[in-house]
Every structure is written in structure tokens, then in C-alpha cells.
Amino acid sequence: PTPTPPPSGSQLAWSAMMYFDCDINLCDSYPGLITRMENELGAKIGANGFLNIAVLIDLHPQYCQTNQPGATRYLIQANGQYTQTVNRWDMGELNMGDPQTLINFTTWAMQNYPADHYYLAIDDHGGGVSGISWDDSNNSDNITNDELFAALKEITKNGERKLDVFAYEACLMAMYENVYDLRNFANFIFGFPTISFANNASYPSYLGDERFTAQTSGRQLGDIMFDVYYDAVTAPYVVTLLDSSQINALHTAVNNWATALRNATGGSSTALANARTAAQKVEANGDNVITNEDPYVDLWDLADKTAAQGIATTEAAALKSAIEATAVRLKIRPPTASPCWDYSHSHGLTIFWPLTASGHYN
């Protein structure tokens, strides 16, 4: 079914689109997010509000305490007062790992709830190079990074209708490779290069922050999200806000540095391996410790370590400056208890450089 809401009236300042893929083992965490938005947003989403929030949520009966498996679309209502086919639509089972599901939902929301500014969050497990949004009801299908690129290209009409903010509400997705794909489709990208954490005071509670008003810009919303997360969640992680307008310059710096590395590999392979060993890595392989076996490496720190080995010193300096211009907000949560992951040398973007063939590129 393709639900069609009644005419929404005048265009509002903001439309937020939340893609909740709950067809996973975290399913029970998601219904409460809807309840929080209903209870926390008040007049922001009322008849005189400035914000529409469209949600697609797909529940899994094995993992969720629910009598209604399958997908539902919502236009979030204050205090949870819904009318079927007016602001709540049962969709049946959907494959949330199919990019067409994302296209259908987001296009529907933007057509029916037009706004001056758009925010899109995809919430599920994240796998870095292997993508996002696994659906256990559909053979663990997921949205791969190339599928997400193609979906956002269609959703934004090849960048003519850009998202103001795109949020990777998932682990490991703030990679250079991933944000490069989004550079033409979103003005600002919010994400985690590490394992991500949330709690009842973070996501999506930042939409209820008093600083978020009809006059808020995309950059300002990104700052609010950033501040609320960092104040609320104390587990060890890195969170970053990226300015897409800087990514093409970053790409040039990456290419120049990579060319210099390739030119040096004949006589400096040991030094290059030493640089990778010394560089900041991210716990990603499930052994709960940061070791040389982890495949995600902080890009800034890797450039710094190659320069320390006497390789590509000029190009490394330019690359570090380009990363600093792109990552307009960066915070590192130090370890306070288990897990004791030290990310003190992180700078907001990782790249995929496995020690050995593994995972998605086995």
C-alpha cells in the first residue's frame, strides 16, 4: 500500500524523516523513540508547529514485544493521538534493507510534508564498508553503500533538493569513503567513525531541544545534535559533524597523498606498514579491544604517522588540514569504564585498511 495523507497545508520550516529498521536484535529499543517524540516535542509538531516528523518503523516479532509485526508509517502526533489512514498507516512487511523502501518512504514524506529544511536519519546496525540497515526478516538484506548513494541521488533529484542534515545513526559509518558518496546530497553529515551509543537523553531527543526552532539552519541543527549527544552519552566513542562543501577539496588531498604513498611503496613498504601499526584504529572486529587487526584506521592520524616515517610529508600535511576543515565538530569520549577503548588520536574520519583480507572484502 502507498498511503496518501490529506493536504498538509502550508510548507513548514522543517521535515524530519526517521527510517527505523527494527528488524534486528535491537528491536525493543525503537518503539520508545516514537513515544519520546510524542511526549517531548509538544507545540513544535502541533497545529501551529514548524516541524513534521515522518517515521517508517518495521518491527520484528522475534525481537520485539509487539502484537503487530511489520511496518508502519507515522506522522508523529503530540501525545500519540493517531487516526488510521490520516496520520498512521499500516504498510505490511517491508524489506528495510531494500533501497527502494527508503526511496519510497522519503519521497513520499518530502512530497506530502514539504519544508524549507530536510533531515534524514537511518537507524539500524552500521557496518562501515558493508553498509547499513540489515533486515532479519528478509534474509539479512541490507542497504549497501552503493545502494545508498543511488537512493539519495534519486531522493534529492541528483542534489537539486539537498538534505540539510543526514544522520548515520549507526556504528562505523563516518568513513571517508562513505561521506564522499553523500557530498552532493546533504549539506551536513552527522555520524560516528566508531561503535555508536545512545540513551534516553540523546537520539532523537535533540529535536526537542529548546534551541531547535523554525529559524534553525542545517548547521545549527547539526550543532544541537552534536551537543546533546556528547552531553548525554558517556561511553567511549567519537562523534563528528562534517561539512559536505569541503569534501571535494578533501578528496583532492586524499588523492595526492595516496599517489605519494604509491610512489613510495617500492622502497618504503616497511615504513608504511609501521605507520599503519602506529596509527589510531577503531574497535570493529568484535574482540572488544583495539588491536592492529581492526580494519578501520583514523585518516588524519594515519597521514600523521606516514609523515613521521618520512613518507609523503607535504601531502600528509595538506590532508590533515583538509580533514580539519571538513570535520567542523569533533568530540572524543574517553573511556571511563569497560569497554576501555582509547580514541584520543581520532580526528573524525576513518578509512578501510585491513591488515588482512576479511569481512566484506574477504
H or E element in which residue 189 lies: strand 186-191
- Under 8 Å between Cβ of 206 and 220: no
Residue 7 confidence (pLDDT) above 60:
no
Q: What percent of the chain has pLDDT over 90?
A: 63
Task: Give the residue-averaged pLDDT of 21-43.
Answer: 76
- pLDDT tier at 30, thresholds 50, 70, 90: low
pLDDT of 235 reads 84
Q: Which residue's entry shows cell 561539512?
A: 243
Residue 60 confidence (pLDDT) above 90:
no
186-191/163-169 β-pairing: parallel
Residue 156, all three cell numbers? 534529492
350-352/296-298 β-pairing: antiparallel
Top pLDDT among 135 and 167 is at 167
Most confident of 35-44, 131-140, 198-207, 213-222: 213-222
Segment among 105-119, 191-205, 237-251 with least mean pLDDT: 191-205
Instruction: Give the model confidence (pLDDT) of 116-156 as tens digits.
Output: 999 999 988 889 999 999 888 888 899 999 999 999 999 99
Instruction: Give the model confidence (pLDDT) of 304-320 as tens digits.
Output: 999 999 999 999 999 99
Top pLDDT among 358 and 258 is at 258
**Alpha carbon distance 309, 303 (integer Å):** 10
Largest CA distance in the chain: 69
Residues in contact with 101: Cβ distance below 8 Å, sequence separation at least 6, in sequence order: 56, 94, 95
Instruction: Give the model confidence (pLDDT) of 81-123 as tens digits.
Output: 889 989 999 998 899 999 999 999 999 999 999 999 999 999 8
115-123/163-169 β-pairing: parallel
Residue 228 confidence (pLDDT) above 60:
yes
**Alpha carbon distance 114, 122 (integer Å):** 19
Residue 2 confidence (pLDDT) above 70:
no
Position 110: which residue type? Answer: M
